[in-house]
Amino acid sequence: MRSLKVILFDYHSLLYNPGNFSSYDEILKASRNPETTWDYIFKYKREAKHFFLDLDQTGLLKDVVSEEMFFNKLENDLSKAKIYPDVVGGLEKLKSQEYKIGVVGDLPRTYLHLFPSDGFFSLVDHFCFSCDNGGLRMDSYEFFTIIEQFFEESFYKMILIANKEILRDSVVRETAINLLEMDRNKGTDDREVVHSMSEVLSRLYTP
């Protein structure tokens, strides 16, 4: 895999307990159309502190939702997210080999700060989340086209390291991007699956 130039990680490969969006449950229950409301959440472009005022003006809610309760639950969700201890060291080794690093995922903007800042952000060349691209989801070809354009490299020179739920998506497979399954929970003994950053480094033939 020496021809690789870009390594993309799904954020689940870097964080454990990354939050399950439970803080939005009450909003969805109070909405007139949960699907439309969830779409609005993913496309929301401003800081979380403006969220409730903007949401109220959309007319999507039929019932009142406690703003205080929402942010308490959101903070609780985010507090559970921790970076795996092997991530920073692993990324440092990849950067020393002159790989470009990207982090991808389906996240609302209010969740972006769940990533630790110390020694992490400086190692990532680009975060490509749905909230930064008009609400595009990872199951859209347009999403990966944006990644290709940003890094100015073809899919053949990229590898996406992610869990099996993402990798089995037909759109991901149609991009011709290299794929590597990562299972942090070690739920499989498949030799084609990696479980840690050291195994990622070994698979990429990186000393």
The reported pLDDT for the residue numbered 158 is 93
146-167 pLDDT tens trace:
888 889 998 899 999 998 888 8
The structure's pTM equals 0.75
- The pLDDT score that the predictor gives to residue 133 is 57
**7 in the Ramachandran plot: left (φ > 0), alpha (ψ -120 to 50) or beta?**
beta
Quick one: pLDDT at residue 22? 76
Q: With bands split at pLDDT 50, 70 and 90, how would you rate the model's confidence at 86?
A: very high
The pLDDT tens digits of the residues spanning 3-43 come to 899 999 988 888 876 556 677 888 999 999 999 998 888 77
pLDDT tens digits for 90-142? 999 999 999 999 998 876 655 666 666 667 888 999 888 766 655 556 667 78
Structure tokens given for 128: 């490509």
Q: Which of 50-59, 109-118, 140-149, 187-196 has the lowest mean pLDDT?
A: 109-118
pLDDT at 168 over 70: yes
Least confident of 67-71, 186-190, 191-195: 186-190
Helix H or strand E segment including 26: helix 25-30
Upper half-sphere CA count for residue 123 (Cβ side, 13 Å): 21
